[in-house]
Structure 1
């Protein structure tokens, strides 16, 4: 086959869209009197597809798992009961991602249901303090969840190695966790595995809640019966083998996280699960004297033994201890499917979307690519690329920052605090 025929054969591949010069009008592969057409330079996307089929190094990396889809896979950064988490790098954008890897051959039906809920939960949530899902890649034996990467590691590791947080840092971190959980509950998602190991640190004090492996959709008053999570963070009703309301279980776990943040230790500690169970059912924990009184009230409100008597999230966000903190607010929802970019006029796109469409075009993603992507949701390399670019553009524009501590003079939020104090049953602090 002549060189021209090889080039033509590649052009028939659906992933190869090399554009021809205007002089190319022949259908013949063998007529020597015609000059061979000159293809334009390959776009980054075309070159990547070509490498994934023909480049020896790339094919070998794909075969041994050093590459998954459009991602290079690097070292392990975490592990769970059913998964490992590795660092990934998107080949086109160079963005770092976290890749959760699950072995499908070892997943029982119950675990598969949890996995399906995890994906659905993350698709539903969009908040600056929640880890974002970019893409789901599936092979014959493995499933890969490509997610936002938090470079600072787990909050649990930070406290375990550096000690308890200062009062100011505790307020800044906990307000973000509260805002994230409030966003979950408002969207019908209960986490059921809130713990310091599932809070991830980013730059400058920003934190994000992740690992939705035990999450589920639930109405605010719906009773659940599946025991989930880590025993040190488990609410008393879970140890009583009762049906439970998911949001109250999350609230209890928030109290344990806050205690751990301000003291550097867990409120309930025991060598065995039966002993831990007894301590939690008795509500037996000791509050160190250095914990501020207002923070003690909040911890006791969250760790109330009666689920319905635990402080609501709005009540916690308006408490005296967090009064000087400006709470994080969720941004306007982003469109996580790129379909609208294929036909939208420039005046129909906001600044982030216009920036993303320009970046996609520079990489070689055409309107035809996007239209052919319809219906794939997160299980698409084009969707993953779009979400990474969109998230990056949005993050740059809103300049993701942790909440700030404000100077209190005459703050109208004091009226809200007084209202909560009037309606709440506050525990006596010794």
Structure 2
């Protein structure tokens, strides 16, 4: 499977190649250029500068350039990685460059990285961060990811407090869409938290960081690895027993929604042991000023028994999210409702035309498949594809419209007139 093995390849003795060559013999060196062939393409000029320009070569050596990317300042960091802003030298698009030092990675970290690459390889959803390319050097591995320039949800709430009701509905609806898409593709995130929910400059939500994700043969397959962030961990994780993946993600979404609407966490403790007891007790209280439908949604996600928790489809149709108008149909694993087959063909043709304008030939595209993330051709292709899809409205943000009367929901709305209490929470 792509992404399972990452080893530095070496060229056969006596053959002149480049680390950034696209196909054997496809690149043109400065001494091979024939003026009778007309002006060189952007790709040829870039490759020539990377092989002969001393300034560019120095930038490659010291890490200011990685492959076809110009590296800028740091925008984040993790346990084993740093994230820097970068630009594609040909398309000029911004990307996020996740940098991992291979000597610091143990076997477990390498396995998680391989799984992250495999799981994100073919994902294309407006609310999931995309993987464009993987670049490897002898000491480092670089994941070229979609750049979301609007910051993360945790920072936004810590800086500005709880979210307004309509903003919360729009953001949470997009998180639900992303998790539905992942689960439909048999991928369990397992590390959903506010720090891993990003925003674009236009307000589109992006679920990121698939380091703890796993792909399962079916959604009812039992898992046994404790991973993720303890404040978002479901009770079955703290009980150190096997668990099903989807309910774990649903519990994390419940914690996330509580944090979004209140600005605080439902389970708080000074130590991990105390936090464990709080989660296992299931003791949390939703502030009474939170809307009743939202309280019921939170309570439905934070039920101690996994089988009692809401399903994702059930949440998408809940009363609280009824006013949210989604930009595409929610049926099927692919969010393809925004374009038909003719439009898909138009998008593909537009992307191929853009590649040819940059200097990538059809032979380049044939020799580097769309799932070959280690290829700079694939990196450019995915960036142009994403840009074209955005221009056609694939990342249109959901909107909150006026409440629509739905006879099927009148029974649920009747509960607004009642007051329910329990030792866990108050719903009004």
TM-score, shorter chain, exceeding 0.5: yes
- Whether contact under 8 Å (1:323, 1:413) holds in the other structure is no
SS in 2 for 1:320: coil
Counterpart of 2:281 in structure 1 is 282
Counterpart of 2:224 in structure 1 is 225
Most deviating of 44-53 and 97-106:
97-106
Counterpart of 1:202 in structure 2 is 200
The 1-side partners of 2:32 and 2:242 are apart by: 66
The 1-side partners of 2:138 and 2:407 are apart by: 58
- Whether contact under 8 Å (2:161, 2:263) holds in the other structure is yes
**Distance apart, 1:328 and its partner CA:** 5.1
Unaligned 5+ runs, structure 2: 1-23, 329-333
- Whether contact under 8 Å (1:20, 1:40) holds in the other structure is no
SS in 1 for 2:202: helix
SS in 1 for 2:60: helix
What is the 5 A alignment of 1:19-30? none
**Distance apart, 1:13 and its partner CA:** 5.6
- Whether contact under 8 Å (1:318, 1:413) holds in the other structure is no
Most deviating of 351-360 and 168-177:
351-360
CA offsets 1:319-367 (integer angstroms, 9 cap, x no match): 1111111235443399xxxxxxxxxxxx997111111111111111112
Given the superposition, is the C-alpha separation of residues 299 and 108 from structure 1 closer, same or farther in structure 2, using an over 3 Å criterion?
Answer: same
SS in 1 for 2:38: coil
The 2-side partners of 1:328 and 1:114 are apart by: 33
Asked if 1:332 corresponds to 2:336, the answer is yes
SS in 1 for 2:392: helix
What is the 5 A alignment of 1:28-427? 38-218=36-216, 219-327=218-326, 329=328, 330-332=334-336, 350-374=345-369, 377-398=372-393, 400-411=395-406, 414=409
Unaligned 5+ runs, structure 1: 1-11, 25-36, 335-346
CA offsets 1:158-184 (integer angstroms, 9 cap, x no match): 111011101111100000000100100
- Whether contact under 8 Å (1:176, 1:328) holds in the other structure is no
Counterpart of 1:9 in structure 2 is none
CA offsets 1:22-47 (integer angstroms, 9 cap, x no match): xx9xxxxxxxxxxxx64521110000
**Distance apart, 1:374 and its partner CA:** 4.5
What is the 5 A alignment of 1:7-18? 14-16=26-28
CA offsets 1:200-223 (integer angstroms, 9 cap, x no match): 011333111010000001221111
Most deviating of 298-307 and 348-357:
348-357
SS in 2 for 1:203: coil
Most deviating of 282-291 and 262-271:
282-291
**Distance apart, 1:369 and its partner CA:** 1.8
CA offsets 1:257-282 (integer angstroms, 9 cap, x no match): 00000001111111111111111111
Aligned length: 387
Given the superposition, is the C-alpha separation of residues 333 and 356 from structure 1 closer, same or farther in structure 2, using an over 3 Å criterion?
Answer: farther
The structure number with the bigger radius of gyration is: 1
Q: CA RMSD in A?
A: 2.6
The 2-side partners of 1:145 and 1:158 are apart by: 25
SS in 1 for 2:87: strand
CA offsets 1:348-396 (integer angstroms, 9 cap, x no match): 9711111111111111111222233248711100000010001100110
Given the superposition, is the C-alpha separation of residues 326 and 349 from structure 1 closer, same or farther in structure 2, using an over 3 Å criterion?
Answer: closer
**Distance apart, 1:408 and its partner CA:** 2.4
**Distance apart, 1:116 and its partner CA:** 1.2
The 1-side partners of 2:262 and 2:39 are apart by: 60
Most deviating of 406-415 and 365-374:
406-415
SS in 2 for 1:87: strand
Counterpart of 1:33 in structure 2 is none
Given the superposition, is the C-alpha separation of residues 351 and 237 from structure 1 closer, same or farther in structure 2, using an over 3 Å criterion?
Answer: same
Given the superposition, is the C-alpha separation of residues 386 and 245 from structure 1 closer, same or farther in structure 2, using an over 3 Å criterion?
Answer: same
